[in-house]
């Protein structure tokens, strides 16, 4: 353990940059904080409760080219609604996909423990066989420095879902605020090497576990599929505008769509792109012929919760909700799923 000043903490950023990392850290943006590549070290924000985005936005970008290929297709008319009519048949040449793996070495600095838990969830989805090569390339060599959380706001629910602790192997450095200074300890070899650059001797000993103070606490009951289905959600979903804020700001919502994109100027150069998809949209569950399986706000609201709780528990033995409360805090209709799934206990 090491007690360092803010200046020394900032010096770690340049040290990480020297090691070839792109440092992503919380910065102040309008009224909220967000994770962003740090352009100047002074921008680093350490007094924040929630960030509007999450490491997901860097590991699984909302728009990511998977590969490019050439096609001899030409655009014959501007028909944006009926896309197939813009292409004059498939091409009589072989498709040769060009693929360049992502190169960035990412370092997440001062993310909260809940976000470290989201990395664990994304790992179990994306690295299960067969692993997603794009996620894997970014995930390898990643550096994570967790800033422990002292206090949550009225939307945090990490204690309810048990994500205020950082899972083993998901932090290289643990940072804790202590007045104007920071207590830092390394939890991996990489973290130890980085702290070595400060040229200070580390004191032995583990600090006491820090449990964040939350303004509200809830207890969930019956989060199985039947339990969620049986509940009446009308009180909650009536105000829903289907804006998809919940899935956009959620650190573990990973649903995606893959589409072909090409510019009308050069339609022969096609980019196969993975874009974010939301279960709050009708096209999420639509199959050929227009049949959709999730047709009501009620079905979509419950579907998201079912994906977080029973589906994830079955497939990955993990709860998909990491208790950050972003889906409540950034919901324009103030829909609070905590009240839907349980009762307030504190």
Partner 1 sequence: MSTELNPYLPKPASISSVKNESLETKTLRLTLINWRAEFLPGQFVQLLLPGVGEAPFCITSSASDSKHIELTIMRRGIVTTASQYIRPGDAVGVRGPLGRPFPLERFYGRDVLLVATGIGIAAMRSLILYILENRGKFGEVTLLYGARFPEDLVYREEVKSWAERIKVMVTLSKATEQWSGLRGRVTDHLKALSLHRDVIAVVCGSPTVMGSVTDELINYGLSRDNIFVSLERHMKCGIGKCARCLIPGGLHVCKDGPVFSASEISIKAIGE
Residues making contact with partner 1 (CB under 8 A)? 66-67, 69, 71, 73, 83-84, 87, 89-97, 99, 101, 125-126, 128, 130, 132-133, 225, 254-260, 262, 267-268, 270, 272, 274, 277, 284, 286-289, 291, 293, 306-307, 310-315
Residue number, 34 or 272, with CB nearest to partner 1: 272
CB 193 within 8 A of CB 143: no
**SS3 sequence, 16-71?**
HHHCCEEEEEEEEECCEEEEEECCCHHHCCCCCCCECCCCHHHHCCCEEEEEEEEC
Closest distance to partner 1 from the beta carbon of 35 (Å): 23
Closest distance to partner 1 from the beta carbon of 324 (Å): 19
Residue number, 63 or 189, with CB nearest to partner 1: 63
Closest distance to partner 1 from the beta carbon of 76 (Å): 12
Closest distance to partner 1 from the beta carbon of 93 (Å): 5
Residue number, 33 or 341, with CB nearest to partner 1: 341
Residue number, 203 or 260, with CB nearest to partner 1: 260
Q: How far is residue 9's CA from residue 182's CA, in Å, rounded to a whole number?
A: 8
Closest distance to partner 1 from the beta carbon of 141 (Å): 17
CB 235 within 8 A of CB 298: no
Residue number, 148 or 298, with CB nearest to partner 1: 298
Q: How far is residue 256's CA from residue 147's CA, in Å, rounded to a whole number?
A: 30
Helices 6-18 & 189-196 angle (0-180, nearest 10)? 110
Residue number, 287 or 345, with CB nearest to partner 1: 287
Q: How far is residue 169's CA from residue 147's CA, in Å, rounded to a whole number?
A: 15
Q: Nearest to residue 25, comparing CAs of 16, 35, 33, 15? A: 35
The answer to whether the Cα torsion of 300, 304, 310, 316 is positive or negative is positive
Residue number, 170 or 254, with CB nearest to partner 1: 254
Closest distance to partner 1 from the beta carbon of 66 (Å): 5
On the 0-12 / 13-18 / 19+ scale of CB atoms within 10 A, 316 is middle
Q: How far is residue 20's CA from residue 30's CA, in Å, rounded to a whole number?
A: 30
**Alpha-carbon 255 to chain mean position:** 11
Closest distance to partner 1 from the beta carbon of 224 (Å): 11
């Amino acid at each position: 353990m090491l007690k360092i000043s803010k200046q020394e903490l900032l010096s770690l950023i340049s040290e990480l940059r020297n090691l070839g990392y792109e440092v992503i850290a919380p910065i102040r943006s309008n009224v909220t904080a967000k994770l962003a590549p740090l352009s100047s070290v002074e921008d680093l924000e350490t007094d924040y409760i929630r960030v509007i985005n999450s490491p997901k936005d860097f590991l699984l970008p909302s728009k990511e080219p998977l590969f490019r290929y050439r096609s001899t297709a030409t655009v014959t008319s501007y028909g944006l609604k009926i896309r197939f009519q813009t292409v004059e048949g498939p091409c009589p040449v072989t498709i040769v996909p060009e693929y360049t793996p992502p190169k960035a070495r990412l370092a997440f600095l001062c993310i909260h423990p809940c976000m470290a838990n989201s990395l664990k969830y994304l790992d179990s989805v994306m690295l299960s066989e067969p692993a997603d090569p794009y996620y894997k390339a970014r995930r390898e060599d990643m550096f994570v420095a967790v800033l422990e959380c002292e206090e949550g706001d009225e939307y945090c629910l990490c204690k309810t879902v048990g994500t205020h602790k950082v899972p083993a192997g998901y932090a290289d450095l643990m940072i804790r605020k202590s007045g104007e200074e920071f207590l830092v300890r390394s939890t991996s070899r990489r973290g130890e090497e980085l702290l070595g650059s400060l040229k200070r001797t580390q004191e032995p000993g583990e600090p006491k576990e820090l449990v964040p103070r939350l303004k509200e606490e809830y207890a969930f009951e019956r989060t199985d599929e039947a339990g969620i289905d049986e509940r009446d959600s009308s009180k909650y979903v009536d105000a829903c505008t289907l804006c998809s804020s919940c899935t956009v700001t959620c650190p573990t919502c990973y649903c995606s769509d893959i589409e072909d994109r090409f510019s009308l100027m050069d339609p022969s150069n096609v980019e196969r792109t993975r874009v974010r998809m939301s279960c709050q949209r009708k096209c999420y569950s639509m199959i050929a012929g227009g049949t959709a399986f999730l047709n009501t706000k009620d079905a979509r609201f419950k579907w998201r919760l079912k994906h977080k709780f029973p589906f994830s528990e079955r497939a990955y033995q993990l709860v998909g909700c990491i208790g950050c409360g972003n889906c409540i805090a950034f919901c324009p209709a103030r829909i609070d799923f905590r009240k839907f799934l349980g009762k307030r206990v504190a």
